[in-house]
């Protein structure tokens, strides 16, 4: 017991000495240098050694940082150990940075795990801005995510949405409870698989379950990667390298199986209807422009970026609709007047459904799936007259920007009509200009999400089907809208489960 006390006392003594030395060092060198040579943005009180790390590690970081901006201002200088951070919680400041400093912040400087398919050195998400990154983005936009590519793959999504409707209808007939997120996950997984490899993942042989399990495991890494990005230290990655390598190996096994099967079908079937995206990627492999691991790493990025985020968006938006009877009624009236009662809503209807578009946008405004966006300044610059040193990490709080009471009326209320031009007659151009400034659920600039168009299509069509075809019974008086704690993406603390009741039966969908 005495030995344990001695060890604890020694550890406490060492920790106190380190705190004192850190405080003295920071006061003598960092603060003096700042006062003498730099004009930094305001900085809230920090802790010795770790600085503001505790704020970024809080259970709901975006809300903690939002409160910080209310108290100290929309442009703040933070530090984690010795790493400087610029926190932006203002729409106008964010717009200025994305416009004037876009190239300067186009490299994320993320710590990567060499050889890993997820957040490895070959990852598109983690790749530095350069020729290889631009080549891969061009391939994605041209063959997968751009307007023309989405038009060519519309049939894939239509078939899967029809299957989604049939699955929910089957459960409704049996009066079973439906997990909205669970059903949306199956749908999105099948769609992205078909768009990438020409077929859906099988439920029978366990493929689909493997993919969902890997995505769930991957999601648990995201906050760790965020902190590692803030620290700009490979140490952050090395702390969970073994787990990361294990997940990467499981991804590699699954994706290699997909690729081998695809190539065998190409050899056996002369008229094989495959995946436009995968055909182009394999051709680039044969030409030596990319490697096979580049293809697999890109597929991991696309699975991670397109699945979990879209599922959360669908779940949050449905929760808001069910909780707002007037929104539900107006949405059904619009769908009924445009689509009618004889067929299922389709993608081609979305441009003619402005209120549905407003509902989707409002859901993403209140619940952006990635509330904090990290970037990195490659060169020093001036922002609003303040100095920003090179290698400073930029953190844009999308959650705070899209709930800013100075630019959004009733910012915490679900009001889809705020996005309708008819609510402000003759001000269409002004509304569009304001949206560019203050509505950025997918980030902005070169590193903004290239899949934004696909996300709007996904969410709009799925929400439309669920509203058009079913009533939704919930347990209790209201839906619990609390957020899950400790997650980087905005996730419901209690997954949305409802019992669907058929409204309209379609004999042919």
State the pLDDT at residue 15.
Answer: 38
Average of per-residue pLDDT across 150-161: 95
Question: Per mean pLDDT, which of 27-36, 122-131, 199-208, 300-309 is the most reliable?
Answer: 300-309
State the pLDDT at residue 231.
Answer: 63
- Cα–Cα distance between 4 and 6 in angstroms, integer? 5
State the pLDDT at residue 8.
Answer: 38
The phi-psi region of residue 116 (left if phi > 0; otherwise alpha if psi is between -120 and 50; otherwise beta) is beta
Ranges 158-172, 271-285, 315-329: which has the least confidence: 271-285
User: Which band of pLDDT confidence, cut at 50, 70 and 90, is reported for residue 215?
Assistant: confident
- Cα–Cα distance between 179 and 159 in angstroms, integer? 21
Statement: residue 115 has pLDDT above 80: no
- Cα–Cα distance between 244 and 472 in angstroms, integer? 39
Residue 164 burial by Cβ neighbours in a 10 Å radius (0-12, 13-18, 19+):
buried
The phi-psi region of residue 175 (left if phi > 0; otherwise alpha if psi is between -120 and 50; otherwise beta) is left
User: Which band of pLDDT confidence, cut at 50, 70 and 90, is reported for residue 495?
Assistant: very high
State the pLDDT at residue 221.
Answer: 74
pLDDT in tens, 359-389: 999 999 999 999 999 899 999 999 999 999 9
State the pLDDT at residue 31.
Answer: 45
State the pLDDT at residue 24.
Answer: 47
Return the axis-axis angle of helices 180-197 and 207-219, rounded to nearest 10°: 110
Please count the residues of the chain: 509
State the pLDDT at residue 222.
Answer: 73
Ranges 89-93, 217-221, 355-359: which has the least confidence: 217-221
Domain 37-502 in CATH: superfamily? Cytochrome P450 (1.10.630.10)
Q: How many CA atoms lie within 13 A of 79 on its CB side?
A: 21
State the pLDDT at residue 349.
Answer: 97
Which neighbouring-strand residues pair with 388?
A: 381
Average of per-residue pLDDT across 413-425: 81
State the pLDDT at residue 66.
Answer: 96
Spell out the domain ranges in the chain: 37-502
State the pLDDT at residue 487.
Answer: 76
Average of per-residue pLDDT across 449-470: 95
Structure tokens at 490: 């905005």
Statement: residue 13 has pLDDT above 70: no
State the pLDDT at residue 469.
Answer: 96
pLDDT in tens, 51-81: 998 888 777 889 999 999 999 999 999 998 8
Average of per-residue pLDDT across 408-419: 96
- Cα–Cα distance between 348 and 340 in angstroms, integer? 14
> Which residue reads 């049996």 in tokens?
174
Q: What are phi and psi of 389, to 5 degrees?
A: -75, 155
- Cα–Cα distance between 299 and 294 in angstroms, integer? 9
Average pLDDT of the chain to the nearest whole number: 85
pLDDT in tens, 246-294: 888 899 999 999 999 998 888 776 655 667 899 999 999 999 999 999 9
pLDDT in tens, 331-348: 999 999 999 988 999 999
Statement: residue 152 has pLDDT above 50: yes
Statement: residue 239 has pLDDT above 60: yes
Average of per-residue pLDDT across 127-156: 92
User: Which band of pLDDT confidence, cut at 50, 70 and 90, is reported for residue 5?
Assistant: very low
State the pLDDT at residue 182.
Answer: 94
The phi-psi region of residue 133 (left if phi > 0; otherwise alpha if psi is between -120 and 50; otherwise beta) is alpha
Statement: residue 42 has pLDDT above 60: yes
Statement: residue 407 has pLDDT above 70: yes
- Cα–Cα distance between 381 and 390 in angstroms, integer? 8
Average of per-residue pLDDT across 167-195: 95
Average of per-residue pLDDT across 318-325: 97
Q: Which helix (H) or strand (E) holds 356?
A: helix 354-366
Average of per-residue pLDDT across 135-161: 94
Is 449 annotated to bind a ligand? Reply is yes
Ranges 45-54, 57-66, 79-88, 119-128: which has the least confidence: 119-128
Average of per-residue pLDDT across 197-219: 83
pTM: 0.88
DSSP 8-state secondary structure symbol assigned to residue 499: E
State the pLDDT at residue 232.
Answer: 59
Average of per-residue pLDDT across 482-503: 91
State the pLDDT at residue 423.
Answer: 53
Q: What are phi and psi of 296, to 5 degrees?
A: -65, -40
> Which residue reads 């075809």 in tokens?
469
State the pLDDT at residue 37.
Answer: 56
- Cα–Cα distance between 19 and 15 in angstroms, integer? 6
State the pLDDT at residue 79.
Answer: 92
Statement: residue 26 has pLDDT above 50: no
Helix locations, 26-73, DSSP H: 32-37, 53-56, 61-72
In degrees, rounded to 5, the angle at the alpha carbon of residue 58 between the alpha carbons of residues 57 and 63 is 125
SS3 string of 472-484?
A: EECCCCCCCCCEC
Statement: residue 19 has pLDDT above 70: no
Which neighbouring-strand residues pair with 183?
A: none
Name, in order, each residue with C-beta under 8 angstroms of 494's C-beta and a sequence gap of 6 or more. Answer: 480, 482
Structure tokens at 299: 């597929």
């Amino acid at each position: 017991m005495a030995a344990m006390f001695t060890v604890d006392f020694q550890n406490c003594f060492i920790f106190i000495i380190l705190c004192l030395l850190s405080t003295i060092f920071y006061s003598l060198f960092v603060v003096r240098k700042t006062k003498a040579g730099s004009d930094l943005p305001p900085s809230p009180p920090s802790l010795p050694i770790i600085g503001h790390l505790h704020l970024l590690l809080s259970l709901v970081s975006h809300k903690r940082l939002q409160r910080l901006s209310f108290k100290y201002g929309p442009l703040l200088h933070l530090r984690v150990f010795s790493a400087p951070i610029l926190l932006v919680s203002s729409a106008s400041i964010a717009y200025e940075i994305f416009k004037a400093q876009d190239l300067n912040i186009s490299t994320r400087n993320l710590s990567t795990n060499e050889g890993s398919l997820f957040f490895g050195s070959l990852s598109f998400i983690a790749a530095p801005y350069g020729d290889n990154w631009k080549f891969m983005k061009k391939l994605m936009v041209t063959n997968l995510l751009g307007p023309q590519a989405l038009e060519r793959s519309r049939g894939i999504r239509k078939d899967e949405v029809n299957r989604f409707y049939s699955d929910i209808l089957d459960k409704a007939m049996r009066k079973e409870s439906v997990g909205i997120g669970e059903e949306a996950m199956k749908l999105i997984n099948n769609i992205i698989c078909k768009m990438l490899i020409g077929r859906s993942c099988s439920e029978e042989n366990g493929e689909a379950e493997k993919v969902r399990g890997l995505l769930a495991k991957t999601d648990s890494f995201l906050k760790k990667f965020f902190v590692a990005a803030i620290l700009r230290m490979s140490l952050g990655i090395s702390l969970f390298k073994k787990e990361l390598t294990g997940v990467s190996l499981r991804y590699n096994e699954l994706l290699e199986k997909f690729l081998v099967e695809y190539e065998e079908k190409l050899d056996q079937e002369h008229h094989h209807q495959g995946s436009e995206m995968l055909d182009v990627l394999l051709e680039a492999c044969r030409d030596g422009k990319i490697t096979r691991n580049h293809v697999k790493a890109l597929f991991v990025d696309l699975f991670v970026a397109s699945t979990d985020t879209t599922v959360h968006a669908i779940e949050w938006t449905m929760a808001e609709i069910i909780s707002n009877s007037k929104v539900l009624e107006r949405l059904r009236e619009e769908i009924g007047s445009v689509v009618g009662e004889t067929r299922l809503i389709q993608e081609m209807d979305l441009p003619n459904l402005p209120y549905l578009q407003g509902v989707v946008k409002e859901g993403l405004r209140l619940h952006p799936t990635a509330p904090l966006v990290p970037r990195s300044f490659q060169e020093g610059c001036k922002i609003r007259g303040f100095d920003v040193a090179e290698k400073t990490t930029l953190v844009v709080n999308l959650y705070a920007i899209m709930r800013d009471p100075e630019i959004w009326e009733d910012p915490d209320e679900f009001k889809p009509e705020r996005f309708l031009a008819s609510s402000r007659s003759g001000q269409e151009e002004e509304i569009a200009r304001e949206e560019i400034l203050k509505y950025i659920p997918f980030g902005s600039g070169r590193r903004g999400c290239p899949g934004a168009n696909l996300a709007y299509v996904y969410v709009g069509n799925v929400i439309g089907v669920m509203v058009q075809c079913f009533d939704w019974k919930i347990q209790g008086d209201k839906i619990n809208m609390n957020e899950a704690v400790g997650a980087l993406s905005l996730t419901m603390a209690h997954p949305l489960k409802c019992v669907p009741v058929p409204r309209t039966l379609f004999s042919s969908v």
